[in-house]
């Protein structure tokens, strides 16, 4: 059974870059069946799709975040990563990574990122 | 951008009752709609994909229907563990920009 785990700093200063990594175990990122996704949830709010990546490196991003987002993959480590630049308090959220084909059928537990000086 | 509107925002029901949740899309998404359940402090869980297909391990009391712009998630008889927030997600331009609805909270009456 696949397991996903987010890791990264829980506190980021305004204007800096948020960096998170998702480590996948129990399955290969290179299997070719899935896109590997990032979703976030602002406090008390709904879900926002950030973007996703295929094992080959092909990416798609939320248009509203596209100028600040980069998602990358490291198949040798079975990991994929999120970078969000120029963060503000509005980027404070729980960030989830997940596996997606016909729906996101596997999720990490989520990691809280707070943007504050 | 396709906008999904979920209604009602909150549904107050008792265990054993039937829950009917609605998701309406601003334009047709064909059958490419998924439903998720989220409990407090937990990641969402996929319930339904392609409008009416239950994901692995999802109980038969959960069913999805609809196509085009109007979709319904039905829980035939609410169990205590079903009280949660439910989100729909459209995937009509997959892999481009799947978007979520705002959610419906099913609470205990």
Residue-wise pLDDT for A36-84, tens only, equals: 999 999 999 999 999 999 999 999 999 999 999 999 999 999 999 999 9
- Inspect the interface and report whether the beta carbons of A102 and B97 lie closer than 8 Å: no
Nearest Cβ partner for A105 among B55, B91, B100: B55
Q: Would you state the pLDDT for residue A60?
A: 96
| Cβ contacts of B72-76, under 8 Å, gap ≥ 24 | B72/B20, B72/B21, B72/B22, B72/B23, B73/B19, B73/B20, B73/B21, B73/B23, B73/B35, B73/B47, B73/B48, B74/B18, B74/B19, B74/B20, B74/B21, B75/B18, B75/B19, B75/B21, B75/B106, B76/B18
What does the pLDDT profile of chain B (109 residues) look like in tens digits? 899 999 999 999 999 999 999 999 999 999 999 999 999 999 999 999 999 999 999 999 999 999 999 999 999 999 999 999 999 999 998 889 899 999 999 999 9
Residue of A6, A22, A35, A47 for testing the chain B interface, max B β-carbons within 10 Å:
A47
For residue B43, which residues of chain A lie inside 8 Å, CB to CB? 96, 98, 107-110
Name the percent of chain A lying above pLDDT 90. Answer: 96
- Name the residue of chain B whose CA is nearest to A47's CA: B100
| A14-20 mean pLDDT | 98
CB spacing of B43 vs A108 below 8 angstroms: yes
pLDDT score for A26: 95
For residue A6, the model assigns a pLDDT of 98
pLDDT at position A31 is 86
Q: What is the pLDDT of residues A56-68, one digit of tens each?
A: 999 999 999 999 9
Cβ neighbours of B42 in A, within 8 Å: 109
Residue A32 above 90 pLDDT? no
Q: Decide: helix, strand or coil at residue B81.
A: helix
Contact A4, A107 (CB under 8 A): yes
Tokens of residue A105, six digits: 């059928």
Point out the residue among B55, B95, B103 whose CB comes nearest to the CB of A103: B55
Interface test with A, best of B2, B9, B95 (most A CBs within 10 A): B95
């Amino acid at each position: 059974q696949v397991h996903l785990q987010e890791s990264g700093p829980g506190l980021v200063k305004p204007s800096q870059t948020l960096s998170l990594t998702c480590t996948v175990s129990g399955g290969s990122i290179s299997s070719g069946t899935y896109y590997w996704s990032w979703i976030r949830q602002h406090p008390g709010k709904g879900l926002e799709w950030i973007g996703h990546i295929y094992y080959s490196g092909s990416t798609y991003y939320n248009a509203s975040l596209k100028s600040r987002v980069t998602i990358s993959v490291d198949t040798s480590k079975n990991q994929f990563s999120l970078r969000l630049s120029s963060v503000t308090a509005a980027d404070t959220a729980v960030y989830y990574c997940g596996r997606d084909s016909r729906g996101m059928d596997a999720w990490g537990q989520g990691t809280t990122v707070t943007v504050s000086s | 951008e396709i906008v999904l509107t979920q209604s009602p925002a909150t549904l107050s029901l008792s265990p054993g009752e039937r829950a009917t949740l609605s998701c309406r899309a601003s334009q047709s998404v064909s059958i490419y709609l998924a439903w998720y359940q989220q409990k407090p402090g937990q990641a969402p869980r996929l319930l339904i994909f392609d409008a009416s297909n239950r994901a692995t391990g999802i109980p038969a009391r959960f069913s999805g229907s609809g196509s085009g712009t109007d979709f319904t998630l039905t829980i035939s008889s609410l169990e205590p563990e079903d009280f949660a927030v439910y989100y729909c997600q459209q995937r009509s331009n997959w892999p481009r920009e799947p978007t979520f609805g705002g959610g419906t909270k099913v609470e205990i009456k």
